[in-house]
Chain A
């Protein structure tokens, strides 16, 4: 233990994960608070959750320094700063969406004296505890330096979500969704764990940096210049992680799970696992490829493209299929949540384009796109979470017909976010797509851009329904029973996100630059394990 703590690498790693440690402490505190007999303490749970998230943003900003990142031996040294801030910020909005809905009926019963307080039945503490744990896991991925860490972080991000789905509402469909989600999640975990094991077998190391270095050495590469076993491992890992992204072929759970969970939990599922998957691919893919990297094949130095052919081919196919199946699937839905589930599948396809386009422009574009996507996704589900029909979530498009007449603000926010998802300038969604398409063309992925452009046009059809039905539809007997939930928080989140969709482009330059800090140090990262002199030299060079 003393050896570990005294190593500069380990102390830097520990410092870097201070935000996650804080969230872990928060998770414990929230779990206890949620069991309190005192109603106002229980009511404070979302607030405390939010405070810890704010705290983690602040801590992350303090501890994420270039020196530390290089010392910690990260392959993507600066990924943490922007990604953690983004995760925690969207997390804050998600707390606003979810806060009042969990245990609402139960708390009302306690307040009115219809039921006596029963610590077994209250869920709010658990829900937000798991909420924080999942966010902590997602954040951990950004500062991963080895495969074990990556696996644990991915599981920490995923496991709590299974519980969150199950407790999000008291219906059997939620239970069913949770079980489905859990088993398929376990399958995906097994898949990528198997991939990781093959990677370990192929390279003899778990350290990502070391692995990247070894994959350039002749003894680990076949005569053809491709490390076959490692490629197999990589492909399995990618397919496993595709589950988190809800990317084809691991997408089929999305619609059922989104439909089964409550709107506020679905908002969480639409963003957190997705960014977790993207970050995992971002730390994993540079192991296999690097712009302008040269390897020795039969004594000759050969410049490799970003990503070796097998991985690029798999990602390419996944991207095209994900976009297309997602959008075509969404066309067929009348249930808003299912439609948004397929839409989120399609969005994953767009994200894949950026991942394929390389660790600089492409990753920057993906990180920027995720910001827009996170805000828009939260806006949509916040609108759904703000409405209820006979105490249940609104589900079908018909429930939203003529929303404008009774809840004009919500209808406008829904319309704005749908139009943003279409990719209509000057809303944030357009600039995300612009960045993605730009980076893809730069990386020579022209076909992907054309496919994505056609897909955007297809997606316009169903997104337009989310504009047309609330804004233009006529209210009917069914929509008469749709009411706003008593709490103003989800509405506030919808307004914040909806306005963000419109106003964020004003800060375009700063946001783009913030996103691009995530990858900026990559070129300077020494491929061999760092020693102190190199680390400080790199730090000083900045």
Chain B
């Protein structure tokens, strides 16, 4: 039953894509809407029947279908994966309904690519085989590339190319890392497999130098996708240029592919590498938090501001994961989900403004509360969710991430020995203050103050517009459709904020399993100062090129 549902999760969007390709163009949006709603229903059924909520196991556990080269088509997820699946399937219909008025041409391709994108994203979270994972992970680039390049803003072509090349470059190295592990495993075990569990088990027994370099290879792709600090430059551009629904999905789910990859593949496969590079990665996270928060401060374009805030927020998320204890990692997973909800919602809100005023420039817009009180309510609500107001969803994850980082000191009194510690948390915490500042400044400009609208422009559909395109049929304030999109998001944000306990309880066993190998390595690292002998780790090719002992 469960395996049927998991297959259905992948097949349904693909079938919908086929249907969209064949059906008349005017039906595209309806097919997409109903298909995504159907997928959401299937994912709810999947989550309902999912047995791994309490023990961190991966389900369904069936063996896959071998398709050659050692690849097995096998689907299954742990509790974290199921939550991210729910996030994806929840956001998709909202993004589809949110596109009804925004997209007017090449509808068939638009909705068709979104269907393929959904299938690919669900494939990542459902993969139990490294190549299935990689296939889905990498294939998300193609739909997103087309969505940005066809439906994006004025600079869409460079943005889409940068997006594609940047992430492709990283993930080629990830692929090399995955194949390296599989090849070593094949030489030791005598048969090729890409089963994630077996690869992780084998890889974590490799020599420290190999784990070190494999971790770097694996992280190369995920760090770009997350994105970690110096490799984030593709993201603001892509966000800025992407159509609204593209931004929602990009922020909501696509970035989570990176964090999920770190969680599911990089950390469990090469624990020694993870420990060895822990401090460096944490510093990158913190740099990302602070630097991009400062960048947010000087933005004039509200969409870019939210895009940079994504980078800053994902810094928290990764910092939680890199604290290498279950508190931080649980917070990190919470953060993944909450960031998807609140940032996705913010992008929707901004998209609604853009559809009306055709600008995202905060210097041209202001005091919109006077014009659009309903919109303003949601904007303020999701901004607060995003900056981590207690009682809304953002707070839980942020708090746990920082706490995980804070207590992860070598001689932890809390019983979670780690390599980071209070100083990391304190510096990262300054990002919270900065976030509050730039987000409140944004609200102050956009929502409050005297009304300011682009010169000569008034919202579409507003009776006094001169020479404007009224065909949009958009009312001055939000339409019932738009409110209908935002309400479910707001309800979920509030619900998670008020009662996160069931989620936290479901996440904890899964992350503990993922991080099971870490305490002993952390302990050794704290004692010896390093797990990899520095002399031997100078040259990557030497470490990687040594043939397996078994072959000699």
Contacts A426-B135, A434-B69, A468-B157 given; does A449 touch B179 at CB 8 Å? yes
Among residues of A, the one whose C-beta sits closest to the C-beta of B123 is A426
Contact of A438 with B183 at beta-carbon distance under 8 Å, contacts A472-B149, A509-B68 already known: yes
**Most interface-central of B141, B145, B168, B172 (chain A CB within 10 A):** B172
Number of A-B residue pairs, CB cutoff 8 Å, is 105
Indicate if the CB atoms of B186 and A424 lie closer than 8 Å. Answer: no
Flag the segment in A78-86, A219-227, A439-447, A487-495 that touches B: A439-447
How far, in Å, is B246 (CB) from chain A's closest CB? 15
B69, B157, B168, B175: which contacts A512 (Cβ < 8 A)?
B69
Given A450-B173, A453-B175, is A441 in contact with B180 using a C-beta cutoff of 8 Å? yes
Residues of A near B34 (CB, < 8 A) are none
Residue of B nearest to A443 (CB): B547
Please give, as numbers and ranges, the residues of chain B lying within 8 Å of A450 by CB-CB distance. Answer: 173, 176, 540-541, 544
Q: How far is the CB of A109 from chain B (nearest CB, A)?
A: 42
B66 proximal to A (CB < 8 A): yes
Closest to B131 in A: A434
The answer to whether A419 touches B142 (Cβ under 8 A) is: yes
A contact residues around B68 at 8 Å (CB): 508-513
Please give, as numbers and ranges, the residues of chain A lying within 8 Å of B66 by CB-CB distance. Answer: 509
Question: What is the bound-complex CA distance between A11 and B131, given in angstroms?
Answer: 47
Chain A interface, >50% SS class: helix
A169: min CB distance to chain B, Å: 34
Among A425, A453, A461, the residue within 8 A (CB) of B139 is: A425
Contacting pair B176 A464 (CB below 8 A): no
Knowing A426-B139, A453-B175, A454-B172 touch, does A472 contact B157 (C-beta < 8 A)? yes
Are A461 and B183 neighbours in the complex by a CB distance under 8 Å?
A: no
A360 to chain B, nearest CB (A): 13
Contacts A471-B146, A472-B157 given; does A444 touch B135 at CB 8 Å: no
Is A381 in contact with chain B by the CB < 8 A criterion? no
How far apart sit A450 and B71, CA to CA, in the bound complex (Å)? 21
**Nearest CB of chain B from residue A122's CB, rounded to whole Å:** 44
Chain B residues in 8 Å Cβ range of A430: 135, 138
Within 8 A of B (CB), among A70-94: none
Q: Is B187 an interface residue (CB 8 A)?
A: yes
Q: Which of B67, B135, B183, B192 has the most CB of A within 10 A?
A: B183
Expressed in whole angstroms, the Cα–Cα distance for A457 and B172 within the complex equals: 7
Is there contact, CB below 8 Å, between A457 and B183? no
| Bound CA–CA A382/B196 (angstroms) | 40
B71: chain A residues at CB < 8 Å are 508
Chain A residues with Cβ below 8 Å from B540 are 450
**A283 is an interface residue with CB less than 8 A from chain B:** no
Contacts of B149 in A (CB 8 A): 468, 472
Residues from chain A with Cβ under 8 Å of B161 in the complex: 461, 464, 468
A7 to B530, CA, bound (A): 69
In the complex, whether B212 has a CB less than 8 A from a CB of chain A is: no
Q: Say which size band chain A's interface belongs to.
A: 35 or more
Alpha-carbon distance between A430 and B132 when the two chains are bound, in angstroms: 12
Chain B residues numbered 501-552 whose CB sits less than 8 Å from any CB in chain A: 540-541, 544-547
Q: Is A52 an interface residue (CB 8 A)?
A: no
B67 and A464 within 8 A (CB): no
User: A448-488 interface mask toward B, CB cutoff 8 Å, 1 = contact, 0 = none?
Assistant: 01100110110011001001100110000000000000000
Q: Judge if B134 is at the interface, Cβ distance under 8 Å.
A: yes
Interface positions, chain B 153-176, Cβ under 8 Å from A, are 157, 160-161, 164-165, 168-169, 172-173, 175-176
Q: Does B362 contact A (CB under 8 A)?
A: no
Q: Is residue B150 within 8 Å, beta carbon to beta carbon, of the partner chain?
A: yes
- A431 sits at the interface (CB 8 A): yes
Known A-B contacts A438-B183, A457-B165, A509-B67; A424 and B138 likewise in contact (beta carbons under 8 Å)? yes
A157 on the interface (CB 8 Å rule)? Answer: no
B183 touches A442 (CB 8 A): yes
Contact of A453 with B176 in the complex, beta carbons under 8 Å: yes
Q: Which residue of B lies closest to A368 (CB)?
A: B69
Interface residue? A437 (CB, 8 A): yes
A528 and B181 CA atoms in complex are apart in Å by 38
Bound state CA distance, A438 and B179, in angstroms?
A: 6
Segment 257-278 of B: residues with Cβ below 8 Å from A: none
Residues of B within 8 Å of A464, CB to CB, are 145, 161, 164-165
B199 contacts chain A at the CB level, 8 A cutoff:
no
Cβ of A422 within 8 Å of any chain B Cβ, yes or no, is yes
- Which chain A residues border B547 with CB–CB below 8 Å? 444
B179-A434 in contact (CB<8A): yes
- Tell me whether A442 and B187 are in contact in the complex, defined as CB-CB below 8 angstroms, given that A437-B175, A453-B173, A464-B165 are known contacts: yes
- A430–B136 alpha-carbon span in the complex (Å): 12
A435 near B: Cβ within 8 Å?
Answer: yes
**How distant is A274 from chain B, measured CB to nearest CB, in Å?**
23
Contact in complex: A449, B176 (CB < 8 Å): yes
Q: How far is the CB of B518 from chain A (nearest CB, A)?
A: 26
Q: Residue-by-residue, is A510-522 near B (CB-CB < 8 Å gives 1, otherwise 0)?
A: 1111000000000
User: Given A435, A446, A471, A510, which contacts B544 in the complex, CB threshold below 8 Å?
Assistant: A446
The interface residues of chain B lying within 8 Å CB-to-CB of A422 are 168
Bound-state Cα–Cα, A437 to B150, Å: 34
Q: Contact between B164 and A460 (Cβ–Cβ < 8 Å)?
A: yes
CB-defined contacts of B545 to chain A, threshold 8 Å = 444-447
- Please tell me if the beta carbons of A447 and B541 are within 8 angstroms of each other in the complex: yes
A425 and B138 within 8 A (CB)? yes
Residue B385, interface by CB 8 Å: no
Cα distance, A444 to B183, chains bound together (Å): 9
**B182's contact among A431, A438, A456, by CB below 8 Å, is which?**
A438
B186 contact set on A, CB distance < 8 A: 438, 442
- With both chains docked as a complex, state the minimum distance between the C-beta of A38 and any C-beta of chain B, in angstroms: 44
Q: Which residues of B contact A423 (CB under 8 A)?
A: 172
For B544, the chain A residues whose CB sits under 8 A away are 446-447, 450
Q: Which residue of B lies closest to A434 (CB)?
A: B69
With CB as the reference atom, state the residue of chain A lying closest to B68.
Answer: A509
B381 to chain A, nearest CB (A): 37
Residue interface bits A246-266, CB-to-B below 8 A is 1, else 0: 000000000000000000000
B-contact bits for A291-329, CB 8 A (1 contact / 0 none): 000000000000000000000000000000000000000
In the complex, which residues of chain A have a beta carbon less than 8 angstroms from the beta carbon of B69? 431, 434-435, 438, 508, 512
Whether A424 contacts B139 in the complex (CB less than 8 A), given A446-B541, A464-B164, comes out as yes
List chain B residues, Cβ under 8 A from A426. Answer: 135, 139
Give, as a whole number of angstroms, the nearest-CB distance from A317 to chain B: 15
Report chain A residues within 8 Å CB of B70: 438
A residues less than 8 Å from B184 (CB atoms): 441
**B150 close to A472 (CB less than 8 A):** yes
Kindly state the separation between the CA atoms of A438 and B165 in the bound complex, as whole angstroms. Answer: 23
List 7 A-B residue pairs with CB atoms under 8 Å apart, sorted by A's residue number.
A424-B142, A426-B135, A444-B547, A446-B545, A447-B545, A472-B157, A509-B67
Could you tell me which A residues sit within 8 Å of B by CB distance? 419, 422-426, 430-431, 434-435, 437-438, 441-442, 444-447, 449-450, 453-454, 456-457, 460-461, 464, 467-468, 471-472, 508-513
- For the complex with contacts A450-B541, A450-B544, A509-B66, 12 further pairs of A-B residues with Cβ separation under 8 Å are A425-B138, A437-B179, A438-B69, A438-B186, A447-B545, A454-B169, A464-B164, A467-B145, A468-B149, A471-B146, A508-B67, A510-B68
Interchain residue pairs A-B with the least CB separation, the first 9 = A509-B68, A441-B183, A425-B135, A446-B544, A457-B169, A508-B68, A453-B172, A444-B547, A447-B541
